[in-house]
Amino acid sequence: MPEDPGYDQGRRVWNGLVDRRPAVLVRPSGPRDVATALAAARASGLEVSVRGGGHNVGGAAVGDDGLTIDLSTLSDVSVDPETRTARVGGGARWQQVDTATQGHGLATVGGTVSDTGVGGLTLGGGFGWLTNQHGLTCDNLLSAEVVLPSGDIVRASGDEHTDLFWALRGGGGNFGVVTEFEFRLHPVGPIIQLGLFFWEEERGAEALRFIQTVVDGLPRESGAIVAALNAPPAPFVPEEHHFRPGYALILAGFGAEPEFAELAQHTRTGLRPLFEFASPMPYVALQQMLDESAPPGILAYEKGLYLDSFSDPVIEAVTSRMPLRNSPMSFSPNLCAGGAFTEVADDATAFGGARTSTVLFTVAALATDADVLARDRQWARDLWEAIAPYSSGTGGYVNFMTDYEQDRVRDSFGAVKYERLSRIKAHYDPENLLHRNPNIKPALAPA
């Protein structure tokens, strides 16, 4: 309750802009406690929110005057190296998963910021460094323990509650509270190869055109992020270039070292960067590399969509608008996905994006001052609107929505998937108890 110790910690989420006060926080010790909390909320008319990692930019994890189920107490990670599987509590974060699985030289597809919650990322799809090799996070989900709004506790998998299992893989937290995930693991690391190449803002258009050629030929055993940002004041950045605006290509290699060395050499000679950094590093360090770009408590707003590529109109929109941001922390990180991501059938999961080679384009306004954030929020919206006509035609990635406009949620899944999800929602959550999310409205019963 608000007067209890730990209340403020429990209501705090990653985005410092979100300051909400639930009527009650529930910290369950297991799925039965979650069922009890849902029953209490239903009986008292309290709005329900579910807090996993609390990393959602829109602050969906907490609401004013409602009941928040804080899953941070359910964060155990159990690894079976023989079957290459892991069972992960619904409140775990990716740094916990990476630490546990890398103890056996294994990993699954996680996010790119280690503080991110496992639940939100998985249920919305889940892009990461390993997507080229192993698809989305939800493609590696084997089963889930789910507490339904009715209070029933079920296991969803390819063999039981198959409709729910389909919906959980991309449909978000619309259908129940997931208290445990079971993931498929893959041999990864423990040492991977990293290459970071940075070009100054003045060569932005030239750099993005060249970067697209590198991405087009990206080996399956590699991952890539293209970022428009200010160079960080990191030890590997020459001091004279600290905070310099520009464009970076970050490459991660998970295969043979000579093959990655050839890719790095092609990149540095194709268009000489202002500076570069290449080094082997632990996989867990790669997973934490972008943490400082998104510290807890930062004021944040973001929007995202899918692109087929960095086409000339997209490059023009990006390079003309990036210099207009007000905060040096605001940036545009874009993850490139191909390979295994494209080999999953469109209708195999509820994930809404097309299963073709894509750029997950993101524009993030980040600041420590509310007035600066307000200006950069408008900058982010302007850049997104300039890019939107060249998107691949869907409403965007649900995990990168700050504003849950209903038409965008529907567009994100497409009409056919949305209708299927709506019918599943009507079966498992007909009262729409779980609606603080990119919401799927329950289908109306036939007259």
CATH label of the domain that carries residue 217: 3.40.462.20
pLDDT band at 398 (very low <50, low <70, confident <90, very high): confident
Residue 428 has pLDDT above 50, yes or no: yes
Q: What is the pLDDT of residues 15-50, one digit of tens each?
A: 999 999 999 999 999 999 999 999 999 999 999 999
Cα separation values, 12 from 62, 164, 275, Å: 8, 30, 38
Clarify whether residues 290 and 326 are in a common domain.
yes
- Domain end, chosen from 187, 218, 241, is at 187
Q: Give the structural domain span for 146.
A: 74-187
Residue 152 has pLDDT above 80, yes or no: yes
Residue 447 pLDDT: 35
Q: How many CB atoms lie within 10 A of CB 350?
A: 27
313-333 mean pLDDT: 97
Burial (CB < 10 A; 0-12, 13-18, 19+), residue 115, is middle
Clarify whether residues 367 and 306 are in a common domain.
yes
Residue 293 has pLDDT above 60, yes or no: yes
Residue 340 has pLDDT above 90, yes or no: yes
pLDDT band at 341 (very low <50, low <70, confident <90, very high): very high
Residue 407 pLDDT: 80
Find the angle CA(192)-CA(196)-CA(202) to the nearest 5 degrees.
Answer: 170
Clarify whether residues 313 and 366 are in a common domain.
yes
Residue 175 has pLDDT above 60, yes or no: yes
> Per the structure, how many domains does the chain have?
3
Clarify whether residues 361 and 214 are in a common domain.
yes
Residue 372 pLDDT: 97
Percent of the chain with pLDDT over 70: 98
Clarify whether residues 146 and 203 are in a common domain.
no
Going by C-beta distance under 8 Å and a sequence separation of 6 or more, which residues neighbour residue 127? 109, 111, 112, 136, 137, 335, 337, 360, 397
Q: How many CB atoms lie within 10 A of CB 142?
A: 17
- Spacing of C-alpha 227 from chain mean position: 16
Clarify whether residues 44 and 78 are in a common domain.
no
pLDDT band at 446 (very low <50, low <70, confident <90, very high): very low
Residue 207 has pLDDT above 90, yes or no: yes
Clarify whether residues 62 and 91 are in a common domain.
no
Q: What is the pLDDT of residues 369-382, one digit of tens each?
A: 999 999 999 999 99
Clarify whether residues 178 and 120 are in a common domain.
yes
Closest CA to 144 of 159, 131, 128: 159
Specify whether the CB–CB gap between 346 and 166 falls below 8 A.
Answer: no
Residue 167 has pLDDT above 90, yes or no: yes
